[in-house]
Amino acid sequence: MNFVVGPPLTRRKNNAIWVVVDRLTKVAHFIAKRNTWTLDQLARLYLEEIVRLHGIPHSIVSDWDTRFH
């Protein structure tokens, strides 16, 4: 996740771009937003935009444990 701040103001008064990259599927999402949004608003936007498209994984398998080396 990263924020790009400084583009011109849009009609909806957005002045920042939130970049969310899914490294597993190599998909990038560019979401226009205001740079004054709170963390709660960003979390809601994440659910509406990212989780809506990709869902939530049922389990996470990590290979960082010593058993996998």
CA distance 15 to 6: 6
Contacts of residue 57, defined as CB under 8 A and 6 or more positions apart, other chains included, come to none
In a domain, 46, yes or no: yes
Element spanning 19, H or E: strand 16-22
Question: Does residue 64 form part of some domain?
Answer: no
pLDDT digits (tens, 9 = 90+) for 38-50: 999 999 988 888 8
Tell me whether residue 32 is in a domain. Answer: yes
Query: Is residue 65 in a domain?
Result: no
Q: What is the pLDDT of residues 9-58, one digit of tens each?
A: 888 899 999 999 887 778 899 989 988 889 999 999 888 888 888 888 78
Number of domain units in the chain: 1
Beta-carbon contacts of 60 under 8 Å, excluding residues fewer than 6 positions away, are none
- Read off the amino acid at residue 21: V
Domain that holds residue 32: 2-57
State yes or no: pLDDT of 67 exceeds 70.
no
What confidence score (pLDDT) does residue 30 get? Answer: 93
37 located within any domain: yes
